[in-house]
């Protein structure tokens, strides 16, 4: 049985259309996957940033409570004409420094959404 030109063209068109459909499908799926990966990366960075800010706030709260407790102790002692012990004075000074440093961290954390 001899193949005619029409059969050859018919087969070529079918193969070409199949290849074209496959190519378009691959491009579409790749584009969708790429967009999905980008949005996953954005969500992950956002979640990581929120987690970091939450950690900074937790640490700031801890330092503030420690400082607050030492200041209350100092005020109560001052009301009774007493002074803090040397150990407590040193702890108060360390806590003041920690508080200052934590405010810096918190200020940086507050600006995180505006960074590139």
Query: pLDDT-derived band of residue 15, with 50, 70 and 90 as boundaries?
Result: very high
Tens-place pLDDT, residues 40-70: 988 898 888 888 888 888 888 999 999 999 9
Query: pLDDT-derived band of residue 84, with 50, 70 and 90 as boundaries?
Result: confident
**Domain containing residue 33:** 5-114
Q: Is the pLDDT of residue 39 over 50?
A: yes
- Residues 99, 67 contacting (CB under 8 angstroms): yes
Name the DSSP class of 4.
Answer: P
C-alpha span between 75 and 22 (Å, rounded): 78
**The pLDDT value given to residue 110:** 60
| Average pLDDT estimate for 92-115 | 76
**The pLDDT value given to residue 16:** 92
Name the DSSP class of 81.
Answer: T
């Amino acid at each position: 049985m001899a193949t005619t030109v029409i059969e050859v063209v018919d087969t070529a068109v079918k193969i070409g259309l199949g290849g074209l459909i496959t190519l378009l499908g691959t491009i579409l799926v790749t584009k969708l996957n790429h967009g999905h990966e980008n949005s996953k990366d954005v969500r992950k960075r956002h979640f990581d940033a929120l987690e970091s800010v939450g950690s900074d706030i937790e640490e700031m709260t801890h330092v503030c409570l420690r400082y607050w407790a030492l200041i209350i102790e100092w005020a109560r002692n001052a009301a009774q004409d007493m002074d803090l012990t040397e150990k407590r004075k040193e702890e108060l000074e360390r806590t003041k420094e920690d508080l200052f440093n934590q405010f810096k961290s918190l200020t940086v954390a507050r600006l995180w959404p505006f960074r590139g």
